[in-house]
Amino acid sequence: EFKKRQPEGAIWIMKPIGKSQGKGIFLFDKLSEISNWRQVPLFQRNQAEKEQQQNRRASAEKEEEDQSDLPEPYIVQRYLSKPLLVGGKKFDLRLYVLVTSYAPLSVYMYRSGFARLSHARFSMDAADLSDVQIHLTNVAIQKHNENYDEKRGGKWELHSLKQYLLAKDHDPDKVHRLFWEIQDVILYSLMAVQKVIIQDKHCFELYGYDIMISDDLKPWLIEVNASPSLTANTPSDYDMKFALLDDMLTVLDFEKYLVGTELQVGGFDVLYRNGARVGPTDASTHESYLGCNNNRLQQLEKMARQYGAEQDERTAPSSAPVGSSAASSVVAG
């Protein structure tokens, strides 16, 4: 594949499978450059040295350092060289998907998410391929940029991004189709592994999907995180993730309040259930609820009133009708 794409000037990206926060990731266009794949960016080396001076490493970390000479598994992907840009800067999406069962497959999609933006203008010049602050959007990397805004945390709410795309020169139908196709990517990725995942009715998975969008409004799957970070770096980020966890526990329904036919629970919408895809009706202007207004509080309040009224009806004592045998015996006495 590399030799086939090399005449086109393709760029490739290498990622370690056991690391996070952008550690160990680099771009290359020549096989000879892989020999330097273990080199860590300068700012990360400086940060590591500072941490070593301030804190003593735990024993597990020391063992990892002792084994640093061992080969480390990596994956290689063709780099998306023409991403959709916002203000000339690259971004990717972090989306949340809840799988409550693999057999049968049951999938919930959270309406909210966020775009992670870089703080340096995007460039595919050969001299810039080694600049991780241009090509990687991880907050752990972007926070070292001199233009990093701590108040916004380098994140943009998914709903705001969708409104931005609709307000730009993009065809609204293409924007709605984009969010539908993002859900396609998510569903097909889950179906691809459905048969090899061990089903346990007592287990669930909350996945963090990383999606990129090319300049022709096509979604591309970057990776799926089985243990997505839920650390918040801004108040709005905290509110979104707190609501996400709260709604997740409501979907799991440990108290057995739900009836099992709900299409929306808080900010989660059913994406796939009983062998069929679920989504907005044909009369809806949206093809997907992803990126729409997250009306979780109104929905939860409505659901609580409905189920509360049903519970009251089931538990209310029935009154004896006039003229019953019980009433007659009282009158006779």
Q: Which tokens is 162 given?
A: 């969708």
Residue 322 dihedral angles phi and psi, to the nearest 5°: -65, 135
Query: Residue 91 corresponds to which amino acid?
Result: F
Q: What percent of the chain has pLDDT over 70?
A: 81
**Which tops the pLDDT comparison, 328 or 156?**
156
Check: CB of residue 186 under 8 Å from CB of residue 93.
no
Return the closest-CA partner of residue 225 out of 14, 16, 12, 20: 20
Q: Would you state the pLDDT for residue 197? A: 92
Rg of the chain over Cα atoms, rounded to whole angstroms, equals 26
Helix, strand, coil % in the chain, rounded to nearest 5? 35, 20, 40
In sequence order, the 6+-apart residues with CB closer than 8 A to the CB of 187 are: 107, 271, 272, 277
Express each pLDDT in 188-208 by its tens digit. 999 999 999 988 888 999 999
Q: Using CA atoms in the order 67, 73, 74, 75, what is the torsion angle rounded to 10 degrees?
A: -170
For 132, the 3-state DSSP assignment is: helix
Q: Which tokens is 133 given?
A: 């602050």
Express each pLDDT in 213-272 by its tens digit. 999 999 999 999 998 989 898 999 999 999 999 999 999 999 888 998 999 999 999 999
State the average pLDDT for the chain: 83
Check: CB of residue 114 under 8 Å from CB of residue 155.
yes
